[in-house]
């Protein structure tokens, strides 16, 4: 398994070297080593669904850069994910920056190949519309559960005169297309001013559980995550983590911030609370480097990706003891 | 009432258009529509009272820009303030950047006209000395109560050899001039290193209630705000919110930061705790764009203005059910 | 004509007030004063044609902000454009951030109305694809000449698998659609690494004059502009000014910078060299605030808009002495 | 004692004047007034031990600048440290930026002179390797206790092929050299991904108490600090405060941030919890201005230095009532 | 003369140490060494005359910081000013940030003491109004000549309803008060949009020579400076250098930038062209750190101060060979 | 040769993908494809020789990021270097961030392997001390000529008490070690304040030609480069390009800027003037991302690397027609 280890900071300093996710080897889809990979870290450099401040197309590259500061062992659990599973950086899916539908097609095809190779994808966005083609690829034959951290539900019907594919609509589409089982979906941290209540009404009607921020702040993270795990159950579950879930003091580099969110510690604890969930894929989206002057958002994002990686590994260990 | 609605993000994207407060119509004081306005959002672009790092004169423009990301409905209460009251952007009061006394006069006159039109002013500063001329205009015949969020009391007698009009002295002057009823004044969040105890001694002598930060952190926001509401009572009350009340991690863009302050969630909860107070005017001051590289301070400030707007509306609904 | 004067800095300091272009009155298309306007300043907040680093959608607002530092009189010629012509800020055209074709339609319609009102439009972009719908509106019945400052020809056929509408293609489309008379088109400042020579080949074949940067640096600005004026002749001419014409040290805030460009003084002299051209419309595009930490690009952009405004006025004076 | 007072903000505004620590007089080691000084503020502008992102060599100058905003009286305890003790800015120790061992020697010599003069040093780093020569100077004849705030233990054996003197190793060396009594050492806030468990194993074997962040967040600051004080006991104790102890939202300007840390309020409370400890020296290290665009890290650092200064003064008052 | 040497970078690295101008000793006005000083570097941390974007009050401290990168010998002339004359940092004059007239008085008194000590002052501003009290102190008995680099004449009568003391009026006042001999005044680099021609009309009427930027760009620096020296003649002359003389690409950190200015090389050459002038005082004003994200403006400003220092030294050498 | 082509922007947008130099394939030294490579782009992430502001260790990663905007064809000459020669990104040499001598050894060994493979190295620094080990590897048996663009000669004997290996000394060492033939060395652009004349004296004594900036500005680039080519002659020549050669307005992101330098156009023309030189290796050093807020320095650096690449290719074409 030595082929799938990060470059050690004792061999090449952490600031040195071509930046791949967590200093893992780069294994493109046409690389013969692909068949050995168990967890694939993937960039989705795209913001074609962004309705206000663009920039997440630059997210994957900055997340790769920041992720080179991540070391091999979890500080609390002691999990060493790169020893527990063969991980690799699969590179970036190629969006079409001038065509939304073509981009969705390209992304679905890319993730279908990842799935066919038996690889669990951990994606760095990109804006939140990225999650739709991933779900299309991952859940083609049965709806998935989902644990979703965000300040927005992304459950809107459409935008600006009927545009149905923006970063505000992916989960509406996913439910409509049967990609998600709404009764196994839990959305955590929803807040901010609203256009109206259309999204919440849809959630209620479909049976999606929404935990708004005021409830989140009243309860403990432990308690919230216990409920989330119960909702997801032991079925296959996708995890979608929008960095704007976290308060903008901790994550300013995002296009649609909402004040009053969780701290970085709460954000980490949420990700740790995924342990035990049967994760078939996960993402960290909406990191926007042009709005992140100190780079702190990308480092938090990379840290959350590492937490999700450990949760995936922990889940697999459970299944295959 | 359609004339007083914000431009919808579905008609003109939120990043587009001339930036007015919350995308409301611009109604200058000489506009015939003024008589219909109930709540007026006003910029006070002034920092002539600033003793250390200048910049708040640029606050109103940046707050307008950030406020275009505010949507029409409160995320928790569901209040839709622009439907509940006729709101407008009244433009900026014109200070004299080279003359403090002339600026105070100009501002008092401007707010006197606003008051005469029966409009509740919600002001975006400017440094904290702005509040003095506003109080002069609003409380000319009877002293007001005040709920004041800040890290400083702004109760000093003078500065630098007898200067009596700086952003450290407005409430000393306001008490001396009888604009405030000290027994109905509550100051929340006071902290930081001090020159001496002169301001606190004055507060104690006059009966002003000061809740320092160490007490704030010990108690719940709910508890603190219940006391604040009790102090204000059911009389007419002014609300003054200095952005440096919030911890500088959440609000770096200000001239006299003090570490150890509330989080953005606590800051929002404080503003929500104003509900039930009979608000005759409010302000959000000391946002200083040159010290706000990511613009997060302005967005938090705009969010707090929206919270205060909803509190004003809620208070009016109570009075006129 | 007093209705169309900028707010004086002696009445309201230049940092104060709602930011319109050059502090002019806001006259939306449905305002009765529209019929009096002679030159309309318009924002085109759009970057749907951007293939690399997005951001120009935020350009118009930042250009408005920076333009409040522009005073009423040209420093060299003494021209006072706001006295010479009735100018107004017509607001922003509303693009559809999620649909390129719909945006092009919306923009063409907006500019058709401007043209119908007899107003010369001076546009603040937006990415360079903006110019295509403007040309569609302005030249519906006869091809226009064009003087084009840029580091790229924007004459490419397509991008990324056949996308024909990006900020690299507007003038290819404009020539194909007969909106421009290629023999009356002059492109100045072209430079940077190239994909290939397809665009230059097209220019040569069509008779478009390209003055690359190495020629520009060899000749004087005066000489270059004399040739440009000769090419445009005395027919109706459009001026398109991409801020990336200027060296990125002077204009870092743009998405596709190319090093080795003109200084700000040369950039101004170029605009001054437009005097005598019969300008039917002009634009300043590709200002991208997220890449402009000190705001200098927007101020240079606003200064260039003022130069173009003076050139328009000078041209009109010539026609109607 | 008037010679050792900070310049008053009522005589010279706080933004004015040559920046010394807290506006204290500059008393170099060869100044005759040195013998009167009781507490010396010292800069250690060095990052020769930094293994990833450099910058702390610029820390002392930025900390001096930020410290000019610190006033004379503690906001809660009312302590006026500059009246309680004769404090001075002793200037910077001169490191050799091209030679680690020479720098260690120079620093040890400097602090030996400070100790010989009976001065308690309060140091502004510099990277954390600075603390090793300080400990060598201060504890030459008996091991000290230490309370250490950090996200890293800095207890590693070596780095990159046997380098034994980096900012990850100072306390390993200090224990090996007998400078610290491991049973009187308490490390608080440890977190982040790890290379391995070598440092924790060493701590356990030697009897050093490590309070990791997950324990810190579970307990109250009061409780944690009570334990820390009990571990330090009433023996002579050094305090070492790495700014990366605090969450990077509050302190982005540091080279090796770890997310999930304490808030600024908790950070201050920790420092206040030092009251009663017999402090023989203290430091605030790893402030890195190039990564601190808004300067907030330096201001937090200066505020923590003031807290530690008050704790030193309180401890002395106890000893010499 | 060893007492007045900068701290060597071989003794204390250039990034280390308390920042004084060019690492010179700090000699306050009440220091007995004052009588030995020949050239005094002084900070004037004030922006009370600023009508638009404030910030120059923070200039002196940032200029001191940047000036620590200046070495002892001129790169072209080989002049070693610190050996040629006894130079010292005299500290900052204390303005009153809340009172313009009091500030003018305080500054005049400070410079009168400097003059009385026979010291030539080289001042770091501060906004341009600073120059008025300096001229009042230096020219009390006979009018001075002046060479003035700027993009504005600063010759306006008043501002905003009669304010006669702003950074746009100092030289109008100085001429009115007889501090300057207008026939020996030369202003270089004037440009930008104008309110009107009032200042130029005044210059013409009084015999002040204005070399506008278009003339500057046409002629060589050598030629322009020869004329300037001829105008100043061999009488006592003051040099006032506003950093906004330089193009904002080279000097973004200033409050009233005007595009189209000289390069840094031209800016240096202008200062070198002062050689031979009988300089009785000089200043470098309008450096505004909040608008200087990379610190380059301060470094250019410090470099220009060094050039002026060498010019002063060269002038003295001429007088006292 | 298709294996050594950059990823096309029409296949994967330029902002997407793992960032290698100019989007070339990554071919580490142990890759079997190494033997096919003709020109190797290499990162030297090191600043262990930096005496003032550190940061160049982060240069290679940022240069890789910026270089993804470079297209395949030179805009003026039409050269397509990736078709003319097999180019690859060889990754980073691993320095030892805690040991200067070990780093020099590691770098010499790395470049010796590159040389043994017959590859011409084009290096992205790192500070200027990097060039010493490169020269040791490339010129082991005969001294090389060198064309050196810089604002400093880097010819000093030692620093800070005898440190002989800093970024101010590499070429002194190289001459002493016989790696360079001083009569074939030309240094262009030297400027700034100086410690003394020791370096210039050494240059004169050894026969090194120094073209200081004042001479550079007087002559044309063409003329200067003709002389440089004549000095280098037709022997093997190394090219060393310090980004601080360029004026800091164009390249702020560097540790030891000197004002008054060339423009970006002059900087490009200098690199183009290398055509015809027999280049055996080249570097672009001293790009320091922490001081480059807008990223413009890295983009200029990448553009200069492309120019040097074309010059290498042109030189080879000459030799092997």
Q: What are phi and psi of D78, to 5 degrees?
A: 75, 0
- Smallest CA–CA distance from A95 into chain C, residue: C160
> Nearest Cβ partner of E11 from D61, D89, D94?
D94
Residue E321 confidence class, pLDDT cut points 50, 70, 90: low
What is the per-residue pLDDT for F3? 82
Residue C101 confidence class, pLDDT cut points 50, 70, 90: very high
- A39-44 and A120-125 beta bridge pairing: parallel
F62-111 tens-digit pLDDT: 999 999 999 999 999 999 999 999 999 999 999 998 889 999 999 999 99
Query: For residue B57, with 0-12 CB atoms within 10 Å meaning exposed, 13-18 middle and 19 or more buried, which class applies?
Result: buried
Q: Please, are residues A94 and F13 in contact by the beta-carbon 8 Å criterion?
A: yes
Query: For residue D143, how many C-alpha atoms fall within 13 Å in the half-sphere facing its CB?
Result: 17
Specify the 3-state DSSP secondary structure of F127: coil
Q: Which residues pair with C147 in a beta bridge?
A: C186, C239
Write down the CATH number for the domain with range A21-318.
Answer: 3.40.800.10
What is the per-residue pLDDT for B134? 98
Whole-angstrom distance, CA of residue B279 vs CA of residue B85: 14
Tokens at F24, concatenated: 């070339």
Tokens at D265, concatenated: 């309020």
Q: Say whether pLDDT at E180 is over 90.
A: yes
Stretch A28-42: mean pLDDT, rounded?
97
Q: Please, are residues F46 and F126 in contact by the beta-carbon 8 Å criterion?
A: yes
Q: What are phi and psi of C125, to 5 degrees?
A: -75, 180
Edge to edge, the sheet with strand D39-44 lists D87-92, D39-44, D120-125, D279-285, D237-242, D144-149, D180-190, D209-212
- Smallest CA–CA distance from D164 into chain F, residue: F98
Helix spans in chain C (H): 59-67, 81-84, 100-116, 131-138, 170-176, 198-206, 213-218, 221-232, 264-272, 296-319
Interface of B with C (CB under 8 A): 11-13, 15-20, 26, 43, 45, 57-58, 60-61, 64-65, 89, 91-92, 94-95, 97, 293
C149-192 tens-digit pLDDT: 999 999 999 988 788 999 999 999 999 999 999 999 999 999 99
> Nearest Cβ partner of E293 from F51, F159, F293?
F293
Nearest to C50 by CA among C246, C298, C291: C291
Q: Is A244 annotated as belonging to a binding site? A: yes
Stretch E152-171: mean pLDDT, rounded?
92
Stretch A249-253: mean pLDDT, rounded?
98
Stretch D196-211: mean pLDDT, rounded?
97
Q: Please, are residues F47 and F126 in contact by the beta-carbon 8 Å criterion?
A: yes
> Nearest Cβ partner of D159 from F57, F98, F102?
F98
Length of chain B: 321
Query: For residue B112, with 0-12 CB atoms within 10 Å meaning exposed, 13-18 middle and 19 or more buried, which class applies?
Result: middle
Nearest to D282 by CA among D307, D257, D252: D307
- Smallest CA–CA distance from E246 into chain F, residue: F249
Q: Is A199 annotated as belonging to a binding site? A: no
> Nearest Cβ partner of E194 from C75, C263, C264?
C75
Stretch D83-109: mean pLDDT, rounded?
95
Whole-angstrom distance, CA of residue F280 vs CA of residue E18: 46
Task: Find chain B residues with C-beta within 8 A of E98's C-beta.
Answer: 49, 51, 100, 159-160, 163, 165-166
- F209-212 and F180-190 beta bridge pairing: parallel
Q: Say whether pLDDT at A77 is over 60.
A: yes
Through-space distance between the first and last CA atoms of chain C, rounded to whole angstroms: 18
Q: Say whether pLDDT at D10 is over 90.
A: no
Contact E94 D20 (CB under 8 A): no
For B127, residues 6+ apart whose C-beta sits below 8 A from its C-beta are B46, B47, B48, B49, B50, B56, B167, B255, B285, B286
Whole-angstrom distance, CA of residue F308 vs CA of residue A154: 49
Stretch E183-199: mean pLDDT, rounded?
96
Cis peptide before B205 (omega within 30 of 0): no
Whole-angstrom distance, CA of residue A33 vs CA of residue A2: 13
Q: Please, are residues A307 and A73 in contact by the beta-carbon 8 Å criterion?
A: no
pLDDT tens for chain B, 321 residues long, are 458 999 998 899 999 999 999 999 999 999 999 999 999 999 999 999 998 999 999 999 999 999 999 999 999 999 999 999 999 999 999 999 888 999 999 999 999 999 999 999 999 999 999 999 999 999 977 999 999 999 999 999 998 778 899 999 999 999 999 999 999 999 999 999 999 999 999 999 999 999 999 999 999 999 999 999 999 999 999 999 999 999 999 999 999 999 999 999 999 999 999 999 999 999 999 999 999 988 999 999 999 999 999 999 998 887 776
Q: How far does E192 lie from chain B, in Å, by closest CA?
A: 22
Q: Please, are residues C175 and C136 in contact by the beta-carbon 8 Å criterion?
A: no
Helix spans in chain E (H): 59-67, 81-84, 100-116, 131-138, 170-176, 198-206, 213-218, 221-232, 264-272, 296-319
Scanning the structure block, which residue is given the tokens 């760095």?
Answer: A124
Mean pLDDT (chain C) is 95
What is the per-residue pLDDT for A1? 42
Contact D65 E61 (CB under 8 A): yes
Q: Please, are residues A135 and A144 in contact by the beta-carbon 8 Å criterion?
A: yes
For A195, residues 6+ apart whose C-beta sits below 8 A from its C-beta are A156, B9, B71, B72, B73
Cis peptide before F126 (omega within 30 of 0): yes
Tokens at F253, concatenated: 């992101």
Whole-angstrom distance, CA of residue B160 vs CA of residue B173: 16
The percent of residues in chain F predicted with pLDDT above 70, rounded, is: 99
How many other C-beta atoms lie within 10 A of the C-beta of residue A8? Answer: 14
ipTM: 0.96
Distance between alpha carbon E67 and the CA centroid of its chain, in Å?
15
Residue F315 confidence class, pLDDT cut points 50, 70, 90: confident
What is the per-residue pLDDT for A321? 62
Contact E291 C293 (CB under 8 A): no
Nearest to C183 by CA among C207, C147, C212: C207
> Nearest Cβ partner of F54 from D49, D55, D159?
D55
Task: Find chain F residues with C-beta within 8 A of A15's C-beta.
Answer: 45, 57-58, 61
Through-space distance between the first and last CA atoms of chain B, rounded to whole angstroms: 18
Task: Find chain F residues with C-beta within 8 A of D49's C-beta.
Answer: 98
Contact B194 D75 (CB under 8 A): yes
For F99, residues 6+ apart whose C-beta sits below 8 A from its C-beta are D160, D163, F48
How many other C-beta atoms lie within 10 A of the C-beta of residue B117? Answer: 15
> Nearest Cβ partner of B259 from D15, D72, D268?
D268
What is the per-residue pLDDT for F293? 87
Specify the 3-state DSSP secondary structure of B157: coil
Tokens at C48, concatenated: 């749907």
Edge to edge, the sheet with strand A144-149 lists A87-92, A39-44, A120-125, A279-285, A237-242, A144-149, A180-190, A209-212
C vs E: CB pairs below 8 A: 88
Cis peptide before B126 (omega within 30 of 0): yes
Specify the 3-state DSSP secondary structure of F248: coil
Whole-angstrom distance, CA of residue B301 vs CA of residue A64: 33
**pTM greater than 0.90:** yes
What is the per-residue pLDDT for A2? 56
Helix spans in D183-295 (H): 198-206, 213-218, 221-232, 264-272
Task: Find chain F residues with C-beta within 8 A of D256's C-beta.
Answer: none
Whole-angstrom distance, CA of residue E58 vs CA of residue E146: 26
What is the per-residue pLDDT for E51? 87
Q: Which residues pair with B310 in a beta bridge?
A: none
Contact A195 B300 (CB under 8 A): no
Pick among A50, A193, A219 to test the B interface (most B CBs inside 10 A): A193
Q: Please, are residues D206 and D161 in contact by the beta-carbon 8 Å criterion?
A: no
F113-122 tens-digit pLDDT: 999 999 999 9
Q: Say whether pLDDT at E2 is over 60.
A: no
Stretch C70-90: mean pLDDT, rounded?
97
Through-space distance between the first and last CA atoms of chain F, rounded to whole angstroms: 18
Q: Say whether pLDDT at D23 is over 50.
A: yes
- Smallest CA–CA distance from C96 into chain A, residue: A160
> Nearest Cβ partner of B299 from A51, A160, A257?
A257
Query: For residue C309, with 0-12 CB atoms within 10 Å meaning exposed, 13-18 middle and 19 or more buried, which class applies?
Result: buried
Q: Which residues pair with D121 in a beta bridge?
A: D40
Cis peptide before A253 (omega within 30 of 0): no
Whole-angstrom distance, CA of residue D301 vs CA of residue D242: 9
Task: Find chain E residues with C-beta within 8 A of D26's C-beta.
Answer: 18, 26
- E180-190 and E144-149 beta bridge pairing: parallel
Stretch F29-44: mean pLDDT, rounded?
97
The percent of residues in chain C predicted with pLDDT above 70, rounded, is: 99
E39-80 tens-digit pLDDT: 999 999 999 999 899 999 999 999 999 999 999 999 999 999
Q: Please, are residues F89 and F106 in contact by the beta-carbon 8 Å criterion?
A: no
Tokens at C112, concatenated: 């058709």
What is the per-residue pLDDT for C1? 42
Pick among D156, D259, D292, D296 to test the A interface (most A CBs inside 10 A): D259
Stretch D199-219: mean pLDDT, rounded?
98
For C274, residues 6+ apart whose C-beta sits below 8 A from its C-beta are C147, C225, C229, C239, C307, C308, C311, C315
Q: How far does B160 lie from chain E, in Å, by closest CA?
A: 7
Nearest to A133 by CA among A157, A165, A160: A165
C221-279 tens-digit pLDDT: 999 999 999 999 999 999 999 999 999 999 999 999 999 999 999 999 999 999 999 99
What is the per-residue pLDDT for C317? 80
- Work out the angle between the directed axes of helices B221-232 and B264-272 (0-180°, nearest 10): 40
Residue F1 confidence class, pLDDT cut points 50, 70, 90: very low
- Smallest CA–CA distance from F253 into chain D, residue: D290
Q: Which chains border A (3 or more CB–CB pairs < 8 Å)? A: B, C, D, F
What is the per-residue pLDDT for F263? 98
Pick among E222, E294, E300, E304 to test the F interface (most F CBs inside 10 A): E294
Whole-angstrom distance, CA of residue C219 vs CA of residue B287: 49
Cis peptide before C69 (omega within 30 of 0): no
Contact A299 D257 (CB under 8 A): yes
For E25, residues 6+ apart whose C-beta sits below 8 A from its C-beta are E3, E4, E33, E88, E89
């Amino acid at each position: 398994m030595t082929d799938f280890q990060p470059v050690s900071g004792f061999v090449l300093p952490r600031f040195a070297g071509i930046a791949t996710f967590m200093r893992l080897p780069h294994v493109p889809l046409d690389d013969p080593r692909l068949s050995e990979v168990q967890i694939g870290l993937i960039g989705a450099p795209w913001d074609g669904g962004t309705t206000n401040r663009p920039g997440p197309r630059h997210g994957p590259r900055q997340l790769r850069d920041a992720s080179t500061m991540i070391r091999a062992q979890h500080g609390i659990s002691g999990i060493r994910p790169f020893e527990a599973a063969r991980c690799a950086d699969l590179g970036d899916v190629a969006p079409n920056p001038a065509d939304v539908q073509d981009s969705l097609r390209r992304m679905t095809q890319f993730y279908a190949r990842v799935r066919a190779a038996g690889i669990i994808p951990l994606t760095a966005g990109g804006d939140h519309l990225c999650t739709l083609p991933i779900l299309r690829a991952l859940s083609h034959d049965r709806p998935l559960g989902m644990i979703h951290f965000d300040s927005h539900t992304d459950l809107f019907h459409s935008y600006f005169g009927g545009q149905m594919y923006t970063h505000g609509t992916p989960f509406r589409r996913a439910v409509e297309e049967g990609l998600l089982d709404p009764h196994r979906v839990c959305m955590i941290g929803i807040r901010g001013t609203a256009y109206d209540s259309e999204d919440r009404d849809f959630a209620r009607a479909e049976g999606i559980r929404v935990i708004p921020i005021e409830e989140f702040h009243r309860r403990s993270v432990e308690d919230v995550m216990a409920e989330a795990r119960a909702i997801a159950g032991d079925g296959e579950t996708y995890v979608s983590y929008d960095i704007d879930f976290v308060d903008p003091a901790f994550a300013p580099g995002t296009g649609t911030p909402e004040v009053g969110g969780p701290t970085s510690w709460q954000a980490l604890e949420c990700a740790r609370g995924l342990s035990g969930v049967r994760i078939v894929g996960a993402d960290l989206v909406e990191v926007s480097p042009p709005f992140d002057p100190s780079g702190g958002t990308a480092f938090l994002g990379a840290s959350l990706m590492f937490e999700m990686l450990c949760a995936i590994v922990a889940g697999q260990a459970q299944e295959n003891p």
